[in-house]
Amino acid sequence: NEMHATIRSLNLFFLALGGTLIALFYLITHRVERRLDDAHLRSAAQGLEREALQVRHIAELEKERDKLRRTQEELQKGAENLRLAAKVFEFSREGIMITDAQGVIARVNKAFTQITGYGTDEVIGRSETLLHSGRHDAAYCASIWQGMLRTGAWQGEVWSRRKNGEEYAQWLSMTVVRD
C-alpha cells in the first residue's frame, strides 16, 4: 500500500508537472498567435512603408512561435521520459537505493522494501549504514566508498542485515551519479 501510494504520488507529480508545462506553453503559443493576428490586422490598415516593417516583425513572431512549439514538444517528450523512468525505478526487480554523497537514503524502490523488510518511510533520511551487518570492519567499508568515489562505481558481495535482524549476502553494485 505504501509503495502504491508512492507510485501514485510520483505519477501524479509527473502528470501535474507535464500538464502544467503543456498548459504554460499553450498559453504562450496562444499569446504569440494573438499578437500575429493583431500584427496582420495592423499591417493591412497601414501604408506600404510600415507594412515592410510589419512583415519583418510577423516573420520574427512566426519563428518564435515555431520555436515555442518545438520546445513544447520536447517538454512533452521529457515528461513522458520522466514517467517512464519512474516506472522503471519502481517496478525493477532489483532493489534500488538512492543516497546523497553522505550516504543518507533519499529514495528506495519496491524491491528494496521487499528484500530488506524496511518500509520506505523507515529508511528515507537515514544512513545507509542501517543495513550494515557488522561482518565488515570500518576499513573495508571505507575502501568500498573510496574505490567507488575514485572510479565512479563499485560492485562486489557484501553482507547486509534485514529489518528482522537476519543477515544475508548480496551482490551490490554502486554507481556515482553527479549533477
Count other Cβ atoms within 10 Å, centred on residue 71.
Answer: 14
pTM over 0.75: no
- Residue 107 pairs in a beta bridge with 98
Pairwise CA distance, residues 64 & 60, whole Å: 6
Pairwise CA distance, residues 79 & 177, whole Å: 21
What is the pLDDT averaged over residues 51-70? Answer: 87
pLDDT of residue 52 exceeding 80, the answer is: no
Q: Can you list the positions of beta strands (E) in the chain?
A: 97-99, 105-108, 153-161, 167-175
What is the pLDDT averaged over residues 85-109? Answer: 91
pLDDT of residue 17 exceeding 80, the answer is: no
CB crowding 78-116: b at 16 or more within 10 Å, else e: ebeeebeebeebbeeeebebeeeeeeebebbbbbbbebb
98-128 pLDDT per residue, tens: 998 888 999 999 999 999 999 999 999 999 9
Helix (H) or strand (E) holding 155: strand 153-161
Lowest mean pLDDT, pick from 32-41, 89-98, 159-168: 32-41
Q: Which three cell numbers stand for residue 150?
A: 575514485
Q: Which three cell numbers stand for residue 10?
A: 510520483
